[in-house]
Amino acid sequence: MKPAPLIVGAGPAGIRAAATLVRAGLRPVVVDEAPAPGGQIYRQPLVPDGRSPEARYGSEAGKAQRLHAEFAGLLNRIDYRPETLVWNLGQGAADLMHAEKTTRLAYDGLLLAAGATDRILPFPGWTTSGVFTLGGAQIALKAQGVSIGERVVFAGSGPLLYLVAWQYLTAGVRVAGVLECAPFSAKFNLVQGFFHEPRTVLLGLRYAAALRMAGVPMRFGASDLAVAGETRVTGIGWQEGRRKYHLACDAIGFALGLKPETQLADLAGCAFAFSPRDCAHLPTRDGAGRSSVAGTYIAGDGAGIMGADAAERAGERAALALIEDRALPFDAARAILLEKQLATMSRFRDAMAKAFPFPEDWSIADETLICRCEEIAAGEARAAIRQFGSTEINRLKAVSRLGMGRCQGRVCGAGIAEILAEESGQSLAAVGRLRGQAPVKPVPLTLLDTLPEAAE
């Protein structure tokens, strides 16, 4: 059988890309880790729980239903493989794991729509039972219909902070507080964002207003977060200027925005460059989504955080690039329009980065665990940097095992980079990035038993 285009991810970018390729007469393979399409933002429940789309997705219910229905209409014209992990790829083939068995799939054209994950910086007690990422808290509510606690504090920065807090509030959960790490003055940058995407800004203000009207304490400029409770969260402390505060709670949702999932782009051999806006090294691409590797395209938050609406357009534009590169008929006018829309959305993202800035002075105490997998504290990381004179993050990994565990640095990488930059007197750009390694996510050892069965 002739290899087909491979799309990794069935979120907004992947769904739109698949629909575009199908219209061009192609039959792509769509691989996704989730059991149902939609991505994180339009995640579907594992089992019917009686909630309406409006209750689950709020103002975005119409978009969620449209994408779900569109993908359902594609099922007989694509090769859809849910609950499947791409754990390795390169040289025109991807290794897939499904039901603890692996197969090798040859592809002709690769479109990565891998999405994003929460950006975490460690703080005292962040590994305590009851502390979740914002994305994890959202998954629990959307996919399983459960709350992470009965009295929840949401902390960190980024638009997702207010969205998840509002979703928990409307689900009937007691939101004990929202702690924004950015100063309130940064929110004046929303005025600039309003001119580019007024609906999005108004929705965010609506969420904040609903929280305020419900009596939820909302604080800004929160620093030096610290979890109270030895085996289970009992509260959270923080500092504003020189004053210290405390809130009682039994669960915490935390993240400092999102960071792109780039491991597969790395394995594909794509070139990377540092993005000050995303505070991360990202795969380079042109305005159409073409990477530095011929036949490999990148779309959605996996190439830079832009949100669900931009992901849809980027997925379609990348698919049009794939079609064009095959010398097939494509809608050039549509491609130009999509690039213009994405440029506007990028300017909006610039404003959001200023309104929800990544903290530049995050303090990580020596005794704070930084790498959970290898159980390495920040002080040990600093000692390794000084002992070996480390200035590059992969060299530090080699001498200390930082980022060498199950998460492959997906959770701890941002904190490691911050400590290395501080200790070596370099910028985040200069210390580099943790290189992607196969398997990109943990796989069972029993997978080795199925390797001889690998086939196209």
CATH number of domain containing 83: 3.50.50.60
pLDDT single digits (tens) 283-308: 999 999 999 999 999 999 999 999 99
Q: 79 lies in a domain?
A: yes
pLDDT value of position 52: 87
Same domain for 214 and 157, yes or no, is yes
pLDDT value of position 454: 41
Collapsing DSSP states into helix, strand and coil, what is residue 416? helix
176: which 2 tokens? 């004990």
pLDDT single digits (tens) 108-131: 999 999 999 999 999 999 999 999
For residues 344-365, average pLDDT: 93
Residue 452: is its pLDDT beyond 60? no
Residue 13: is its pLDDT beyond 60? yes
Number of domains in the chain: 3
Categorize the per-residue pLDDT at 425 as very low, low, confident or very high, splitting at 50, 70 and 90.
very high
* DSSP-derived pairing of the beta strands 218-220 and 174-180: parallel
Same domain for 247 and 304, yes or no, is no
Same domain for 183 and 112, yes or no, is no
What is the phi/psi pair of residue 44, to 5°? -100, 155
Handedness of CA 390, 395, 397, 401 (dihedral sign): negative
Collapsing DSSP states into helix, strand and coil, what is residue 191? helix
pLDDT value of position 455: 41
Q: 344 lies in a domain?
A: no
For 396, the domain range is: 369-431
Q: What percentage of the chain carries pLDDT values higher than 90? A: 87
Q: 51 lies in a domain?
A: yes
pLDDT value of position 243: 95
Q: 358 lies in a domain?
A: no
Range from 21-35, 249-263, 326-340, 430-444 carrying the lowest mean pLDDT: 430-444
Same domain for 11 and 101, yes or no, is yes
Same domain for 133 and 228, yes or no, is yes
**Among 351, 298, 248, 383, which Cα is nearest to 116's?**
298
Same domain for 219 and 143, yes or no, is yes
Same domain for 221 and 142, yes or no, is yes
pLDDT value of position 456: 43
For residues 145-156, average pLDDT: 96
Contact 33, 96 (CB under 8 A): no
For residues 359-368, average pLDDT: 91
Handedness of CA 173, 177, 182, 186 (dihedral sign): positive
Q: What's the chain's average pLDDT?
A: 94
Same domain for 158 and 188, yes or no, is yes
Same domain for 163 and 236, yes or no, is yes
pLDDT value of position 57: 86
Categorize the per-residue pLDDT at 142 as very low, low, confident or very high, splitting at 50, 70 and 90.
confident
Same domain for 8 and 81, yes or no, is yes
pLDDT value of position 45: 87
